[in-house]
A = this chain, B = another copy of it.
Amino acid sequence: MRVEIVAVGTELLLGQIPDTNSQWLGERLAANGIPSYFHQHVGDNHQRIVLAFRTALARSDAMIVCGGLGPTQDDITRAALAEVMNVPLDRDEAIVSTIRSLFESRGRSMPDNNLLQADVPRGATIIPQTRGTAPGLICNVGLKVVYAVPGVPYEMTDMFERAVLPDLLRRQREAGETSVIRSRVLRTWGASESALAEAVADRFDELEKGGRVTIAFLASGIEGIKVRLTARGDDDDHALSMLVHEEEKVRALIEEKLGDIIFATDDQSMEDVVASQLSSRALTLAVAESLTGGLIASRLVNVPGASAWFRGGVVSYASQVKFDVLGVPEGPVVSGPAAEAMARGVRELLKSDIGLSVTGVAGPEEQDGQVPGTVFVGLSVGENLTHSALRLPGDRPRIRAYSAISALDVLRRALERPEYTRAK
């Protein structure tokens, strides 16, 4: 059962709203082992909707249509479906009275254009509404099936779970397709997509032959490269055991070739990892930021419960603030020693266990004789005062964003060392 999603609405083509429905449906279908190979967006135009539906029905086994079921003149999904099915629209009096009583229960009378929502292509099965007015539809078109659901996410998700998914799974069982999909994302920082691809190249080629497990690389911009493993099994246990086996193999390959670059799995962020390291070691943190200008602190406070381990920070954007507030010695401020002084300074000022700092050149001009992308990360813990020198690519905002995640990665790697178990 290959399912195509067709989202209807001119506002999607004009980019006025994001298409969160297709993303949500894609995720739910994948989690249930139902393949989906194509999505489409089409505007509120009868002929083009018909063309999009015919395209979907030609190349997929089933189609989920989102949107265009409302009561206004530009809600024309029902009419387009009737044309594709080659049947007339019949007004369903039961739906009329349901909608009418819904309005009456709110003390209002039903505007006439709501009658449109009671038009049903002949032969279609109705999916009753529980959260709005427009009912959904299940329509057989030759050997294919169409599910029409509203575009309002709150109504769409309810109808999908309650009626569409059970019907799809039943059809899949009847067709003898029972596989289950499970996936895991390994999140990396510090290696290029091509270096990762090369590290697992042999394994990638082997898997290409088998076809039950796949590896994909997702460049997620400032958050590093994601390595996604996907396993298709006969049932949940089977898929999961293949996935666990594969994860072990791929982790070993990456660590062997590229070191400790996998910082998290699935939806976990770099700050989530640092947060759990700090919490479990009962350590508090303060940050001193120059070129990142508060980015690190704002990432950290996004972690629920940050107040348990995050003291705060100083954004020492002007050099004089570094000298006066953080006690950095007068002189060049883009340097390893300046980063160290910033880390110690903020740790003392804010009375935290650990001080983390970043100073560097975001560009476009050089500073202190250093080219843009030159960044120093300082770390102060107990008697230990260290710094790391980095060279980062990109323009101003990108260098800044890379600096923030790089600094957190420096902290993450340090916190993995045993001497950080307790340091005051």
Contacts and interface: CB of A to CB of B under 8 A. Distances in A.
A316 B312 contact: yes
Contacts of A197: 71-73, 111, 113
Contacts of A10: 216
A221 interface: yes
Given A55-B55, A193-B72, A301-B293, A48 B39 contact: no
A91 interface: no
Nearest to A74: B216
Interface in A183-213: 183, 185, 192-198, 201, 204-205, 208
B194 A111 contact: yes
Interface string A253-295: 0000000000000000000000000000000000101011111
Contacts of A307: 317-318
A198 B106 CA distance: 18
Interface stretch (A22-30, A138-146, A162-170, A241-249): A22-30
Contacts of A28: 15
A20 B18 contact: yes
A228 B324 CA distance: 46
Contacts of A204: 73
Interface stretch (A78-86, A232-240, A396-404): A396-404
Interface in A12-40: 12-20, 22-28, 30, 36-40
A153 interface: yes
A113 B11 contact: no
Contacts of A321: 311-312, 350
B294 A301 contact: yes
Identical copies of this chain, number: 2
A26 B13 contact: yes
B304 A396 contact: yes
A127 interface: no
A420 to B, nearest CB: 21
A423 interface: no
A351 interface: yes
A174 interface: no
Given A74-B216, A315-B314, A37 B48 contact: yes
A343 to B, nearest CB: 15
A63 interface: no
A414 interface: no
A17 to B, nearest CB: 7
Nearest to A301: B293
A260 B221 CA distance: 37
A298 interface: yes
B317 A314 contact: no
B48 A38 contact: yes
A301 B317 contact: yes
A382 interface: no
Interface string A295-312: 111101110101100111
Contact of A43 (B37, B42, B298, B315): B37
Given A297-B315, A321-B312, A15 B11 contact: no
A296 B297 contact: no
Nearest to A392: B106
A261 to B, nearest CB: 15
A87 interface: no
Given A43-B37, A74-B216, A217-B72, A14 B312 contact: no
Across the A-B interface, the 9 shortest Cβ-Cβ residue pairs: A294-B294, A293-B301, A15-B27, A294-B297, A15-B26, A39-B41, A294-B298, A312-B317, A313-B315
17 contacts: A15-B27, A38-B41, A40-B41, A55-B55, A70-B193, A72-B217, A73-B201, A107-B391, A154-B221, A293-B302, A294-B296, A302-B397, A304-B396, A312-B314, A312-B317, A312-B321, A314-B315
Given A55-B55, A72-B197, 17 more contacts: A13-B36, A13-B39, A16-B27, A16-B185, A70-B219, A71-B197, A74-B217, A110-B194, A151-B219, A292-B298, A294-B296, A294-B315, A298-B400, A302-B396, A306-B317, A312-B314, A324-B350
